[in-house]
A and B are shown apart, each in its own frame.
Chain A
């Protein structure tokens, strides 16, 4: 792995992507944008998983492709979450005629 990109670059990139995603969740008001930000966070974790699998310590007992397989599972979960999330956002959009998360405030206290 002599000329490879160092592991830390991947980790910085993943951490930055994760922070961007988290900021998006906290700051964006559009429900679709929040959903996209959540996807960015999940993908940041995926980058970590694949990078750690490539550069991490060799552990034959945890399988030949453990990090990659985990990442594929995460992609599946992310797809399921998007499907459910879009459905719920659509349901709310029909009631409020708005995709703004701040408008959904019929309950408080």
Chain B
């Protein structure tokens, strides 16, 4: 019996891909419309027409993403309108099916849905920003590539399986290589594109080789199945496993390129400087966000058993490598940024430094006593970082539009010319430094607190030195961000003045500032949401492998949906015994926070999961 015959594809799975489908189709539509108009209209006129059409598409995708997010939520809360709208078996689908789609390759839970909304919002800002001036004449190609890169990001965030992860990673980056090179009248755009391409595809090849070794070691590409196969290695971590260590290192190098971590960062400054400012913004925010989520899925979920040997950071296991990369990345990024005169290049090095801080959170999440919820700090950091950077790159776009250069000195005197917007930029920069009332401060605080959250005596792995280095680096970073502020507020305006910022440039700055201030004053909601989102991302969505076995009763789901990544010895024994023997004794354990779990906003009020969890509850709610 072939395995796939046991589990037919449910056509309702397509519903959860709504935003992706809308964006893909709209990409083609924009491309065709632009093709039709190409000979009739000038580039500027096409920018307005096709750009407006693209923004309509973003709006449509936003509506779709909201529907995909809200419908399962309200169906599960027992809404009567929903029950009258849908057929009975459709309603049953929302209750019963596992939270992964398409044979367990893509996660379809509510949290992934909320990330789709985030991507569409960011894409809307970036595309609106690109309406500011004519940096390219290929508007159809540009907009279509941005749409498809977003589709790659959404599916990368949802990928629960290594083949899907690789394919979506490539979808995302190949679109971004091309959009980097689309500013055809500038030399450095082509150069940035080629450099991004060469480094990017080498990193893909390294990642793929690591993936092939991992496939050879485990025989599967499902993240959850890999994790289960590695769990029996227990506390030995990677010691003595050369092939495993090679696989982990190669995959880490591959991700290191994508997130621009030192020493794999060389492409980043050139690609950031060469790309048109909106594309840079999308590389720095969307692709980084998606790559970090994928990195966490691979390392904190599938490869979690190889994290550390439980004795020291530098023992066998990947946490030591992550910690060292993180330390080098933030230090190098910050010191290199000090020397930059070009705003985009400075922001590139600053984004390298931020990747270092975020990696502290990744290392912390693998040893934190709070398990996957600790990764919520990383997600919070990523969201805050993304909005602050979209605003910061809007400033770069402003400079390029009006002065054709993007040096920091070109900002001279902006504080007198545009006091309100300059104050917004001030807030963005202060947040990137990490000044207290702003969201950037809480992002760093949460990440560093997770690193110090090691109360469990069985886990003496300490990351104190990494946190100390992170704090030192935050101080260093203040110097180069303050140079932007100094240029704006303490330098006399030059002869060439910036024209007033039009809507497309002001909007990302406004929105970025708004998000930074709101989530700085009230960080709890976003933090709770992100912690709730991290749990289904990093624990198992479903029993993928074993339900398909024709012999066993289909009610058996995963043996122990332990919410914590770090298993205590007791839990480990329970997992192993339930894996080997007592199959079928546990009643349908379904993970909390998945499709049957509480909605994102409520999840944070649930008690923190600890210890061996109770069986799931969602089946009971079936009408």
Contacts and interface: CB of A to CB of B under 8 A. Distances in A.
Interface of A: 11, 14, 18, 21-22, 25, 31, 34, 38, 41-42, 44-46, 48-49, 51-52, 56-64, 66-67, 69-70, 73-74, 77, 80-81, 84-85, 87-89, 91-92, 95, 101, 104-107, 109
Contacts of B270: 107
A67 B221 CA distance: 9
Contacts of A61: 3, 220, 225, 544-546, 548-549
Interface stretch (B21-29, B192-200, B419-427): B192-200
B209 A80 contact: no
Which 7 interchain pairs have the tightest Cβ spacing?
A52-B216, A41-B205, A48-B212, A61-B545, A59-B219, A62-B220, A45-B208
Contacts of B191: 92, 95, 104-107
Contact of B213 (A48, A80, A92): A48
Contacts of B167: 73, 77
Contacts of B192: 107
Contacts of B202: 22, 25, 38, 41
A66 B220 contact: yes
Contacts of B220: 59, 61-62, 66
Contacts of A58: 219
A73 B167 CA distance: 8
Looking at chain A's contact residues, is the secondary structure mostly helix, strand, loop, or mixed? helix
Nearest to A89: B194
B301 interface: no
Given A67-B215, A104-B194, 7 more contacts: A41-B202, A42-B208, A61-B220, A61-B548, A63-B2, A92-B194, A95-B190
A67 B162 CA distance: 12
Nearest to B161: A62
Contacts of A45: 205, 208-209, 211-212
Given A38-B201, A38-B205, A107 B269 contact: yes
Interface in B90-138: none
A12 B373 CA distance: 41
Contacts of B181: 88, 91
B221 A70 contact: yes
A77 B166 CA distance: 9
B290 to A, nearest CB: 17
A49 B191 CA distance: 34
A41 B206 contact: yes
B177 interface: yes
B170 A88 contact: no
Given A84-B178, A107-B270, A63 B3 contact: yes
15 contacts: A31-B198, A42-B204, A45-B205, A48-B212, A58-B219, A59-B225, A60-B548, A61-B546, A62-B3, A73-B167, A77-B166, A81-B174, A84-B178, A91-B184, A91-B194
A107 B274 contact: yes
B412 to A, nearest CB: 21
User: Which of B163, B195, B215, B273 counts the most A-chain CB atoms under 10 A from its CB?
Assistant: B215
A64 B80 CA distance: 44
Contacts of B197: 81, 84-85, 88
A63 to B, nearest CB: 6
Given A61-B544, A77-B166, A107-B192, A84 B174 contact: yes
A64 to B, nearest CB: 6
Q: What band does the interface of chain B fall in when counting residues whose beta carbon is under 8 Å from A?
A: 35 or more
Contacts of A62: 3, 219-222, 225, 545
Nearest to A26: B202
B187 interface: yes
A85 to B, nearest CB: 6
A106 B211 contact: no
A36 B259 CA distance: 25
Given A45-B211, A49-B215, A70-B163, A109 B340 contact: yes
B339 interface: yes
B551 to A, nearest CB: 11
B188 A106 contact: yes
Contacts of A95: 187, 190-191
Contacts of A25: 198, 202
User: Which of B178, B212, B216 counts the most A-chain CB atoms under 10 A from its CB?
Assistant: B212
Given A56-B219, A59-B219, A107-B192, A64 B225 contact: no
Contacts of B273: 107
A59 B217 CA distance: 12
A88 B190 contact: yes
B137 to A, nearest CB: 14
A77 B187 contact: no
Given A38-B202, A59-B220, A64-B2, A48 B195 contact: no
B174 A70 contact: no
Contacts of A74: 166, 208
B227 interface: no
User: Which of B181, B197, B270, B345 counts the most A-chain CB atoms under 10 A from its CB?
Assistant: B197
Nearest to A70: B163
Interface in B1-36: 2-4
Contacts of A21: 205
User: Which of A46, A85, A88, A101 counts the most B-chain CB atoms under 10 A from its CB?
Assistant: A88
Contacts of B215: 48-49, 52, 56, 66-67, 70
A22 to B, nearest CB: 8
Nearest to B345: A109
A80 B193 contact: no
A62 B161 CA distance: 11
Contacts of B225: 59, 61-62
A84 B141 CA distance: 13
A42 B170 CA distance: 13
Interface string B21-56: 000000000000000000000000000000000000
Interface string B334-358: 0000011010010000000000000
Contacts of A38: 198, 201-202, 205
